[in-house]
A and B are shown apart, each in its own frame.
Chain A
Amino acid sequence: MNIPFSRHTLDNGLDVLIHEDHGCPIVAVNVWYHVGSKNEKPGRTGFAHLFEHLMFEGSEHYDRGYFQPLQEAGAQLNGSTNADRTNYWEVVPRNALELALWMESDRMGFLLPALSDAKFENQREVVLNERRQNYENRPYGFAGMAMVAALYPPDHPYHWMTIGAAEDIRAARLDDVRAFFQTYYRPRNASLALAGDVDTREALALAADYFGGLDAGDEPPPVEFAAPPAITNERRLVLEDRVELPRVYLSWHSPALFAEDDAELDLVAEVLASGKTSRLYRTLVYDQRIATEIAASQNSREAGGYFQIIATAAPGRTLQEVDRAIARVVEAFIVEGPTAPEMERCLAQAEASFMYRLQTVGGFGGKSDQLNAYNIFVGDPAFFERDLERYRRVTPESMQSAARRMLRPDARIALSVVPRGRAALALPGSQPVSVS
């Protein structure tokens, strides 16, 4: 399986990727800009995401909001920002392809003339409300911020989450928006993928018409950072929150996206905590019933990753019990490696997850999003097959070896999130942290 496509680079450096799929009379238009919160500076966090909001507020030649003409054409559309990239997409009926290209190219080329204080201040309030809704008012909502702040030093671009600090969002200025746009929102720093019911030649001609005339701009400055210092002594932290049940977050530095051991750790996470047969679920939730939720993930990004296990204690059980049980399970996995049935299962699941991602042309994770991800992160939109191959190459020994080297007990951050006023429920020796 793969995603057949053609690639054409316009003179201004914009990559245009086209994939034909005539199953449904729709087309996905997907644009990635290679900029995210890791391009921000301390004190100005949250900016890349706030900027994304402004991309929906109109541009020079259609300054009445981005949604109106597209929803009227039957489009679904959205955008998102993470540490490494910002993406924008529309899924439109095929007769609205030109409209979507018109709109995307207008905001890529002509956003600034339409920018105003009123729009900026409105979206700053909207983003502050997004932060309240998804972080401040949500149980355990601050845990992610506390964890990345502990994993990475203050000058490392993964030290903060993409949503940013509320005071930084308030401190953002309209001039910052202009500078950010001119630096990063350039054709050469972007990739355009069209997937669906299109004719490649016609679609390419349209894309060239709409985007070809935009100014290439300068190469954006590289993100500068030093690798985070290795964790050599376990750090224990406690965060008090409005929660009922204590929860522990255990994190280790791990390889970057597509780097050596990344696929191995993905599958380690699968064997440890995906489904009822997984080792941690079976031990902590199914047999011993000391935890009520368990999860594990390899969170790999462009400039490094972290492996994380999250467990919520069952009522009346302690985080210490939970932590000891997790440690035993992880240790046993490192000693034994995966069993044959575990290998069979996690490889089948990996294969299936690639297939599930091929079902849609657009949206988050659809084929157009995949093509852009591969193009932006490895410079090769055809990476699908090689990506799948990374998983097929994993052996029990390579999984075991990756787990042994990465998941060392002394190389982890252990964050306890406990009910307010009950810091004693944290793992012993935890230092208080505060996040707001």
Chain B
Amino acid sequence: MAVNRAHLPPLGPDPPFTFPEIQRRVLSNGLRVWTVEHHAVPLVSFLALLPVGAAADPQERPGLAALTSDMLDEGCGELNALELHDTLGRIGGHLDSEIGSDATILTLSSLARFADRGAALLADMVRHPRLEQRDFDRVRELRLNRLVQMRDMAPALADRAYTQLLYAAHPYGHLSIGTEASLRAMLLPEVAAFHSAMFCPSRLTVIASGDATHEGLADFVKAAFDGWTATEGNGDGVVDPSTLPLPSTPPERVALVHRADAAQSELRIGHVAVPRSTPDYHALLVLNMILGGQFVSRINMNLREDKGYTYGARTSFDFRRGAGPFTLHASVQSEATADAVLEALAEIEAIRGARPPSTAELQTGRAGLTRGYPRNFETAEQISRAAAQLALYGLPDDYFSTFVPKVMAVEADDVTRVARAHIDPSRLLTVIVGDRDKVGPSLPRLNLGAVTEVTNA
């Protein structure tokens, strides 16, 4: 065949894709067990989802949920921390624990031949963490050290200032690690009380996936979690963030965190936007793809490929149970800070109507979401994580199979409409972590009023 380089080859029809089947069971104690078979490699993965995250921290104890989740692998049942990790090592295990605003997720993967031991170990960590003083002291100290190190990390400084200014006293107004004052004041009994109030079978979903049958996977989970009953106090004290009033827009429009001699300015631009439950979800995804969600998006092509101000700029809607933020993230050359912010603000403004998506942009934005969709279901752990989203946000069983048609139904008018409805340029907050002397003189050009300096604490 002679190669034709005069034009790109046509794609042909999109291949059909069948989503992996999720089987759902409920144990007698209320714990939900979801299973997914995946036989490509002899591995299994157990994901425990607790819909309680940093937003459940008591007002005066930011960091409690994260520290509690950190204590789970510090010894459980008969095992102290070292024995626990020895066991994990011998089954070829990987343990990953993550905490977001709305959820705590523990994932334990192992060689399939040790699946029973993997499930048992995960259950022990969730049900019977030892929560000993000596371990608590050490874990707290390590987290305090981390806070000390964050003073020199521009992205962490930017995230903290941005989060605090946007959300203030709202449960989303702090980083999950908390603050030095809170960690220093924290006591072990608070951790124990938080654990016993939050971790209960009726709140937990365990998603087992990998190289075993549905029945086999469910049996591992059943054997490990059966007999766990709710204790008194379970179910108390968790506020659903979606029921809280939204924080008011901060008076600041531009905030600066001074970092002497910084080689770049770390930027966050955004405002509180919408919850995961918004009916505009799919249209917002398309909007974001066009605006700043992928390499070929407007903001990246402008700031990186046209101007060379940055290694990359991206936008995102952080969809949570309550309204999460819409945010632009970038790290830009110090000298170009004001120009980069002006270009970004202009792009955000333009997509609200002055420059609606072209047919090509709409097509690229939708295709990036739909044609690439099967890629998200390649490994057992990816499938578990996707399923966890269904559990966390209460999405319908047919969510995956309706995703592509719903995205394909988004039209240019929808993009403009949701941009107008959910992005408000007059409310955008710009946070800059950079060198005051290099950046400051150019900031009046933003025309956003006085610059508020935030202390780098």
B364 touches A72 (CB 8 A): yes
In the complex the two chains form, what is the Cα distance from A133 to B333 in whole Å? 9
With contact pairs A72-B367, A98-B9, A129-B333 given, residues A276 and B94 touching in the complex (Cβ less than 8 Å): no
Question: With an 8 A cutoff between CB atoms, is B368 at the interface?
Answer: yes
B380 touches A65 (CB 8 A): no
Q: Which residues on the B side are within 8 Å of A137 (C-beta)?
A: 154, 262-264, 266, 331
In the complex the two chains form, what is the Cα distance from A139 to B148 in whole Å? 12
- Complex: chain A residue closest to B13, CB-CB: A95
Count of interface residues, chain A, beta-carbon cutoff 8 Å: 81
Tell me the residues in window 230-279 of chain A with beta carbons closer than 8 Å to chain B beta carbons.
242-245, 275-277
Question: With an 8 A cutoff between CB atoms, is A341 at the interface?
Answer: yes
A267-303 toward B: CB 8 Å interface, digit per residue (1/0)? 0000000011100001001100100100000000000
Question: With an 8 A cutoff between CB atoms, is B81 at the interface?
Answer: yes
B40 touches A21 (CB 8 A): yes
Count of interface residues, chain B, beta-carbon cutoff 8 Å: 77
Question: With an 8 A cutoff between CB atoms, is A219 at the interface?
Answer: no
A277 touches B85 (CB 8 A): yes
A282 touches B82 (CB 8 A): yes
B375 touches A24 (CB 8 A): yes
Q: Which residues on the A side are within 8 Å of B82 (C-beta)?
A: 276-277, 282, 286
B153 touches A139 (CB 8 A): yes
In the complex the two chains form, what is the Cα distance from A182 to B146 in whole Å? 48
With contact pairs A23-B40, A69-B8 given, residues A74 and B94 touching in the complex (Cβ less than 8 Å): no
Q: Which residues on the A side are within 8 Å of B3 (C-beta)?
A: 102, 105, 209-210, 213
B142 touches A359 (CB 8 A): no
- Minimum CB–CB distance from B61 to chain A (whole Å) comes to 22
In the complex the two chains form, what is the Cα distance from A51 to B310 in whole Å? 17
A122 touches B305 (CB 8 A): yes
- Minimum CB–CB distance from B318 to chain A (whole Å) comes to 21
Question: With an 8 A cutoff between CB atoms, is B120 at the interface?
Answer: no
With contact pairs A71-B296, A91-B375 given, residues A359 and B89 touching in the complex (Cβ less than 8 Å): no
Question: With an 8 A cutoff between CB atoms, is A153 at the interface?
Answer: no
Question: With an 8 A cutoff between CB atoms, is A132 at the interface?
Answer: yes
Tell me the residues in window 85-117 of chain B with beta carbons closer than 8 Å to chain A beta carbons.
85-86, 88-94, 109-111
A54-96 toward B: CB 8 Å interface, digit per residue (1/0)? 0000001110010111011111100000000000000101111
B311 touches A133 (CB 8 A): yes
Q: Which residues on the B side are within 8 Å of A75 (C-beta)?
A: 372
Question: With an 8 A cutoff between CB atoms, is A130 at the interface?
Answer: yes
* From A76, A209, A352, residue with most partner B Cβ within 10 Å: A352
- Complex: chain A residue closest to B42, CB-CB: A355
- Minimum CB–CB distance from A128 to chain B (whole Å) comes to 8
Question: With an 8 A cutoff between CB atoms, is B384 at the interface?
Answer: no
A346-388 toward B: CB 8 Å interface, digit per residue (1/0)? 1011011001101111000000000000000000000000000
A286 touches B81 (CB 8 A): yes
In the complex the two chains form, what is the Cα distance from A360 to B40 in whole Å? 10
Question: With an 8 A cutoff between CB atoms, is B371 at the interface?
Answer: yes
Q: Which residues on the B side are within 8 Å of A23 (C-beta)?
A: 40, 378
With contact pairs A72-B364, A355-B43 given, residues A25 and B148 touching in the complex (Cβ less than 8 Å): no
Question: With an 8 A cutoff between CB atoms, is B400 at the interface?
Answer: no
Tell me the residues in window 8-47 of chain A with beta carbons closer than 8 Å to chain B beta carbons.
21, 23-26
Option from B11, B109, B142, B378 in Cβ contact (under 8 Å) with A285:
B142
Question: With an 8 A cutoff between CB atoms, is B60 at the interface?
Answer: no
With contact pairs A71-B295, A94-B15 given, residues A99 and B311 touching in the complex (Cβ less than 8 Å): no
- Minimum CB–CB distance from A79 to chain B (whole Å) comes to 12
Q: Which residues on the B side are within 8 Å of A106 (C-beta)?
A: 5
B367 touches A74 (CB 8 A): yes
Tell me the residues in window 116-146 of chain B with beta carbons closer than 8 Å to chain A beta carbons.
138, 141-142, 145-146
Q: Which residues on the A side are within 8 Å of B16 (C-beta)?
A: 25
Question: With an 8 A cutoff between CB atoms, is A104 at the interface?
Answer: no
Question: With an 8 A cutoff between CB atoms, is A345 at the interface?
Answer: yes
Q: Which residues on the A side are within 8 Å of B110 (C-beta)?
A: 352
In the complex the two chains form, what is the Cα distance from A315 to B148 in whole Å? 9
Question: With an 8 A cutoff between CB atoms, is A126 at the interface?
Answer: yes
- Complex: chain B residue closest to A103, CB-CB: B8
Q: Which residues on the A side are within 8 Å of B81 (C-beta)?
A: 276, 286
In the complex the two chains form, what is the Cα distance from A74 to B294 in whole Å? 11
In the complex the two chains form, what is the Cα distance from A103 to B3 in whole Å? 12
Question: With an 8 A cutoff between CB atoms, is B304 at the interface?
Answer: yes
Question: With an 8 A cutoff between CB atoms, is B24 at the interface?
Answer: no
With contact pairs A71-B367, A345-B86 given, residues A99 and B9 touching in the complex (Cβ less than 8 Å): yes
B86 touches A68 (CB 8 A): no
Question: With an 8 A cutoff between CB atoms, is B234 at the interface?
Answer: no
A126 touches B304 (CB 8 A): yes
- Minimum CB–CB distance from B433 to chain A (whole Å) comes to 9
With contact pairs A94-B15, A197-B15 given, residues A352 and B92 touching in the complex (Cβ less than 8 Å): yes
Q: Which residues on the B side are within 8 Å of A138 (C-beta)?
A: 153-154
With contact pairs A23-B378, A242-B152, A358-B40 given, residues A132 and B367 touching in the complex (Cβ less than 8 Å): no
B8 touches A62 (CB 8 A): yes
Q: Which residues on the A side are within 8 Å of B363 (C-beta)?
A: 72
Tell me the residues in window 345-391 of chain B with beta carbons closer than 8 Å to chain A beta carbons.
363-364, 367-368, 370-375, 377-381
Question: With an 8 A cutoff between CB atoms, is A331 at the interface?
Answer: no
- Complex: chain B residue closest to A243, CB-CB: B152
- Minimum CB–CB distance from A198 to chain B (whole Å) comes to 12
In the complex the two chains form, what is the Cα distance from A76 to B378 in whole Å? 13
Q: Which residues on the B side are within 8 Å of A124 (C-beta)?
A: 308
Question: With an 8 A cutoff between CB atoms, is A136 at the interface?
Answer: yes
Q: Which residues on the B side are within 8 Å of A67 (C-beta)?
A: 294-296
Question: With an 8 A cutoff between CB atoms, is B151 at the interface?
Answer: yes
B86 touches A74 (CB 8 A): no
Question: With an 8 A cutoff between CB atoms, is B6 at the interface?
Answer: yes
- Complex: chain A residue closest to B112, CB-CB: A355
Question: With an 8 A cutoff between CB atoms, is B183 at the interface?
Answer: no
- Complex: chain B residue closest to A106, CB-CB: B5
In the complex the two chains form, what is the Cα distance from A213 to B295 in whole Å? 31
With contact pairs A25-B15, A286-B82, A348-B91 given, residues A314 and B141 touching in the complex (Cβ less than 8 Å): yes
A71 touches B368 (CB 8 A): yes
- Complex: chain B residue closest to A94, CB-CB: B15
Question: With an 8 A cutoff between CB atoms, is A175 at the interface?
Answer: no
A311-345 toward B: CB 8 Å interface, digit per residue (1/0)? 01011000000000000000000000000010011
Question: With an 8 A cutoff between CB atoms, is A176 at the interface?
Answer: no
Question: With an 8 A cutoff between CB atoms, is B306 at the interface?
Answer: yes
B308 touches A24 (CB 8 A): no
B90 touches A348 (CB 8 A): yes
In the complex the two chains form, what is the Cα distance from A102 to B10 in whole Å? 11
In the complex the two chains form, what is the Cα distance from A341 to B367 in whole Å? 50
A139 touches B152 (CB 8 A): yes
Pick 9 A–B contacts, CB within 8 A, sort by A.
Answer: A24-B375, A25-B16, A110-B5, A122-B305, A132-B263, A289-B138, A352-B92, A355-B43, A361-B378
Interface residues, chain A, CB within 8 Å of chain B?
1, 21, 23-26, 60-62, 65, 67-69, 71-76, 91, 93-96, 98-99, 102-103, 105-106, 110, 121-126, 128-130, 132-134, 136-139, 197, 205, 209-210, 213, 242-245, 275-277, 282, 285-286, 289, 292, 312, 314-315, 341, 344-346, 348-349, 351-352, 355-356, 358-361
Question: A96-B371, A105-B3, A209-B3 given. 4 additional CB < 8 A pairs?
Answer: A130-B311, A344-B90, A348-B91, A355-B43
